[in-house]
């Protein structure tokens, strides 16, 4: 079951660990840290979503448009009086495997996001971290991911793209961290 996901999870575990440590350093109960956290995520997330849109990912995954959270993070930033930051440059997503690898990272980030949302104080906007999906949405994504990556070389290519996508969030986190230190 979900072999492609198991391989992606293993192949990106070290990258996830670095991000967990980096973003775990933002205290989301502190408005300034939360603002910085959202800014970093907006920089990377919008880049990846735009690259997936440009690659026509909606014709690959039919509910892709409903999964996007660029508007949610923009709404949260606007609600706390912060401008949308400049989007970073996304790595190329010119193959289906690369698109799936990138989509895995941003969809998977919802899992941790749901936990993180609990640290955001009442009264602060949390459409991005709190954005719920219909039940079964992650499982449905993983079913499609497995079908899309039948061969080991597809999984290898998707893992490379997933690692680059994690790298984009790391770059954004470090840029914002540097600015607040
Ligand atoms: C403080 C920061 C973070 C924490 C505490 C965290 C925590 C978690 C947790 C607890 C899970 C597993 C949830 C479950 O299995 O139900 C998870 C999964 C995941 N997270 Fe994070 N996360 C963080 C940041 C991120 C970021 C920034 C990204 C990418 C942009 C990300 C991508 C993923 C992915 C792809 C998975 C799915 C792994 C799988 O296949 O099971 N995480 N995270």
Domain residue spans in the chain? 3-180
Asked whether 41 lines ligand 1 (CB < 6 A), one says no
What's the mean pLDDT in 113-121?
Answer: 93
What tokens appear for 7 in the block?
Answer: 């391989």
Task: Report CA(102)–ligand 1 centroid distance (Å).
Answer: 14
Asked whether 5 lines ligand 1 (CB < 6 A), one says yes
Task: Report CA(112)–ligand 1 centroid distance (Å).
Answer: 4
What's the mean pLDDT in 111-116?
Answer: 92
Q: Is 160 exposed, middle or buried (0-12, 13-18, 19+ CB in 10 A)?
A: middle
Answer yes or no: is pLDDT of 178 > 80.
Answer: no
Q: Quick check: 131 and 72 in contact, CB under 8 A?
A: yes
CATH number of 3-180: 1.20.910.10
Answer yes or no: is pLDDT of 180 > 60.
Answer: no
| Residues with Cβ within 8 Å of residue 159, at least 6 apart in sequence | 7, 8, 11, 12, 101
Task: Report CA(81)–ligand 1 centroid distance (Å).
Answer: 27
Asked whether 9 lines ligand 1 (CB < 6 A), one says yes
Taking phi over 0 as left and psi of -120 to 50 as alpha, with beta for the rest, 123 belongs to left
pLDDT digits (tens, 9 = 90+) for 140-176: 999 999 999 999 999 999 999 999 999 999 999 999 9
CA-CA-CA-CA torsion sign (18, 165, 23, 146):
negative
- Rg of the chain (C-alpha set): 16
**Atom 6, ligand 1: which residue's CA is nearest?**
112
Asked whether 163 lines ligand 1 (CB < 6 A), one says no
């Amino acid at each position: 079951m979900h072999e492609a996901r198991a391989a992606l999870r293993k192949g990106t575990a070290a990258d996830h660990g670095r991000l967990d440590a980096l973003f775990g350093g933002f205290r989301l109960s502190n408005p300034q840290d939360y603002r910085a956290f959202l800014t970093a995520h907006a920089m990377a997330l919008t880049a990846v979503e735009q690259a997936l849109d440009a690659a026509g990912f909606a014709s690959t995954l039919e509910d892709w448009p409903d999964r996007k959270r660029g508007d949610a993070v923009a709404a949260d930033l606007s609600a706390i009086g912060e401008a949308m930051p400049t989007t970073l440059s996304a790595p190329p997503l010119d193959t289906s495997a690369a698109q799936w690898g990138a989509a895995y990272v941003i969809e998977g980030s919802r899992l941790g996001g749901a936990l993180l949302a609990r640290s955001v104080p009442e009264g602060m906007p949390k459409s991005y971290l709190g954005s719920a999906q219909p039940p079964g949405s992650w499982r449905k994504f993983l079913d499609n991911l497995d079908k899309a990556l039948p061969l080991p070389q597809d999984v290898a290519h998707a893992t490379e793209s997933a690692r680059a996508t994690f790298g984009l969030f790391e770059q954004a986190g470090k840029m914002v961290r540097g600015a607040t230190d």
